[in-house]
Amino acid sequence: MFELIRVTDTVYYIQSPAKIGLVLTGENEVCLIDSGNDKDAGKKIRKILNARGWTLKAIYNTHSHADHIGGNRFLQTQTGCRIYAPGIECDFTRHPVLESIGLYGGNPPKDLRHKFLMAQESDVLPLTDEVLPAGWEKIPLPGHSFDMTGFRVPGDIVFLADCLSSEATLNKYQIGYLHDVEAYLDTLEKVCAMKAALFIPSHADPAEDIGPLARMNMEKVRDIFDTILQICSGPKDTDHILKELFDAYGLAMNFEQYALIGSTLRSYLTYLKERGLLEAVFDGNMLQWKRT
C-alpha cells in the first residue's frame, strides 16, 4: 500500500485505499489529485515526495469525502501547498462536519464524527479552469457527490474519482453511496462514451476501456431500483424500506451504514418518485412510500 506507480514519464498514482494521482508539472514540482484518508496518509505521501526530491505545488481534490481529503491539512501545513476543490465540495472541505450533517439530516452524534466521515478542515480555494496546470482538463462527474470532478492530464490519462466501483467492491458492499441518482446515471453514460489512453478510477483497477465497468455499475443501480420497487409493493415507511434493503443485500446495520445507506436510499426514493414509479403518502402522520 502507498506504492508509487508510474503511468508515463510525468504521470503517476499512489496505490492506496483511494488512489492518489501525482503529476509532474515542472522541474521537480508535482501536483496531487486527492490526498488520502488521514494524516498518516499525508505522512506517507510526504515521504514519497521527499525521497524523490519533489516539491508539492498544489492538491486538486475531486470531491469532499474524507478518504480523498484526509491528508490535506497535514500536507498543506508541511509544504504550504495550495488546495483546490470544485463547487460546493470546496465548502464541505473547509467545513467537514457538513458531511456528517448531510448524511444524518441533523446534528450528528459522535458515532458519525470520526475520521472516516470527517476529515480535518483545510484551507481550500475554488477549482476553476484558471488554476489548472497547463494541459489539464477538469471533467464534471456529479452523482456520487455534489460537484465531483475528474481530471484529464497530459498523456491523455483520465482520473475518474469515485464514479465507478470495482466488481469486487460491488459484490462486497452491494449499495454504494450516491447523492443524486439521476446525475450519477448521466455521469456513467458520459464515462461509457469517453476515450482515453488510460482511465484511473479511485476504487478500481486502471483500464484502457472503461465501458464494461461503467455498464456494470449501471446494472447495479437498476438492480437496486427493482429491489426498492419490490419492497414498496405495499406502503412502507423509510426505515422499514431501509431494513428490508439491508436484509435483501445481506448488509449489517450500524450507525455509519444507517447514515450512508439511509441517505442513499432517500436519493433513490426521490429518483423513483420523480419518475412516477413511487408515490409518497401520509397516513397517521407517517410518510409512507408505495409503488404506483
Residue 113: partners with Cβ closer than 8 Å, 6 or more residues away = 97, 100
Q: How far apart are the first and last CA of the chain?
A: 49
Q: Verify that 236 and 145 share a domain, yes or no.
A: no
* Residue 198 placed within a domain: no
Task: Give the CA count within 13 Å in the CB-facing half-sphere of 181.
Answer: 21
Number of domains in the chain: 2
Q: Verify that 23 and 143 share a domain, yes or no.
A: yes
* Residue 83 placed within a domain: yes
Query: In the prediction, which pLDDT does 134 show?
Result: 97
Between CA 139 and CA 155 the distance in angstroms is 16
Closest to 73 (Cα-Cα) out of 31, 47, 98, 38: 38
Q: Verify that 140 and 260 share a domain, yes or no.
A: no
Task: Write out residues in the chain with pLDDT < 70, as ranges.
Answer: none
Query: In the prediction, which pLDDT does 77 show?
Result: 98
Given 135, 162, 189, the domain boundary residue is: 162
Query: In the prediction, which pLDDT does 265 show?
Result: 98
Residue 106 main-chain phi, psi, to 5 deg: -175, -170
Q: Verify that 115 and 243 share a domain, yes or no.
A: no
Between CA 30 and CA 27 the distance in angstroms is 8
* Residue 217 placed within a domain: no
Q: Verify that 147 and 232 share a domain, yes or no.
A: no
Residue type, 277: L
Query: In the prediction, which pLDDT does 112 show?
Result: 96
* Residue 151 placed within a domain: yes
Q: Verify that 155 and 281 share a domain, yes or no.
A: no
29 and 55 in contact (C-beta within 8 Å)?
Answer: yes
DSSP assignment of 119-166 equals PPP---EE--GGGSPTT-EEEE--SSSTT-EEEEETTTEEE-TTS-B-
Given 109, 133, 162, the domain boundary residue is: 162
Query: In the prediction, which pLDDT does 98 show?
Result: 97
* Residue 272 placed within a domain: yes
- The domain that contains 285 carries what CATH number? 1.10.10
Q: What three-state secondary structure class fits 55? A: strand
Q: Which residues of 179-212 are buried (b: 16+ CB within 10 A; e: fewer)?
A: bbbebbbebbeebeebebebbbbbbbebbeebee
Q: Verify that 156 and 231 share a domain, yes or no.
A: no
Query: In the prediction, which pLDDT does 206 show?
Result: 98
Q: Verify that 249 and 149 share a domain, yes or no.
A: no
Query: In the prediction, which pLDDT does 120 show?
Result: 96
Given 112, 134, 162, the domain boundary residue is: 162
> What domain range includes position 118?
3-162
Residue 283: partners with Cβ closer than 8 Å, 6 or more residues away = 235
14 and 20 in contact (C-beta within 8 Å)?
Answer: yes
* Residue 153 placed within a domain: yes
7 and 13 in contact (C-beta within 8 Å)?
Answer: yes
**Cell 514519464 belongs to residue:** 9
Q: Verify that 46 and 137 share a domain, yes or no.
A: yes
* Residue 214 placed within a domain: no
Helix (H) or strand (E) holding 198: strand 198-200
Between CA 269 and CA 34 the distance in angstroms is 31
- The domain that contains 28 carries what CATH number? 3.60.15.10
Q: Verify that 132 and 234 share a domain, yes or no.
A: no
267 and 178 in contact (C-beta within 8 Å)?
Answer: yes
What is the maximum alpha-carbon separation in the chain? 68
